Amino acid sequence: MTEMSYETASTALEKLYELFHETDNIVLIQEYAVAISDLLGTKGGFSKYLHGNGGELKTRQARLLSIFLHNIELLLHRTWVNEQDEAKKSEAIQELATFSAEMAQGDSAKALAHLITISDLLIHLLFGASIYGGNYHEFLLRIDPQFALLYRFLELIRTSTFEPGVDQHQFLLTLILMYAFSCY
């Protein structure tokens, strides 16, 4: 997003997500995933988690998971919170452990649900209860446009429905979110 405005990036993200969500063509799904990741994270860094032989791919994806878990654990443990938010911090740590277990079991749908919960808790811990207000998006946009774009992506995922048994979309969304958070 570094070379385009938030509005342009947000519009592109919405269109790419719509195309990603509506297709069943695995090649197109992967290309849209790469394009979305280029908007949310470091441009050009995501495709290595989708392409390669089976062993290399699993190793790279496991490394991404490891980096993501480490970064989020550090962030959670180093984030100072009010006494009233200690429960949310504990919940986020517990959700992270559950997410890791779901990934190990290969259940993309459950892992994605836990990752969205982790994301929501993390955003709450970083930016406070103001995220529940009507003008939160503008607040986040002023603080960090890249994070505002990631938050917009989470909103798009939350409003989506997925067909039971078809987990390629959920798996790639999980990878995209892990990648985006790992780029911070």
Q: Encode burial over 78-101: b for 16+ CB neighbours within 10 A, e otherwise.
A: eeebeeebeebbebbbebbebbbe
Which tens digits make up the pLDDT trace of 148-174? 899 999 999 999 988 766 578 999 999
Helix or strand (DSSP H, E) at 100: helix 86-105
How far is the C-alpha of 103 from the C-alpha of 181, rounded, in Å?
16
Query: Which pLDDT belongs to residue 95?
Result: 97
The answer to whether the Cα torsion of 9, 14, 16, 20 is positive or negative is positive
Alpha-carbon separation of residue 113 from 90, 107, 108, 120, 161 (angstroms): 18, 10, 9, 11, 12
Which tens digits make up the pLDDT trace of 92-133? 999 999 999 999 999 989 999 999 999 989 888 887 766 666
Closest listed residue to residue 91, CA positions, set 128, 122, 132: 122
Q: Which two tokens stand for residue 166?
A: 């078809």
pLDDT reading at 184 higher than 90: no
Q: Where are the domains of the chain?
A: 6-182
7-16, 56-65, 163-172: least confident range: 163-172
Mean pLDDT along residues 20-40? 96
How far is the C-alpha of 9 from the C-alpha of 94, rounded, in Å?
33
Query: Which pLDDT belongs to residue 130?
Result: 62
pLDDT reading at 134 higher than 70: no
pLDDT reading at 54 higher than 80: yes
How far is the C-alpha of 97 from the C-alpha of 23, rounded, in Å?
32
Please report, as a single letter, which amino acid is at residue 168.
Q
Mean pLDDT of the chain: 89
Mean pLDDT along residues 46-61? 93
Query: Which pLDDT belongs to residue 2?
Result: 52
Would you say 16 and 39 are in contact if contact means Cβ atoms under 8 Å apart? yes
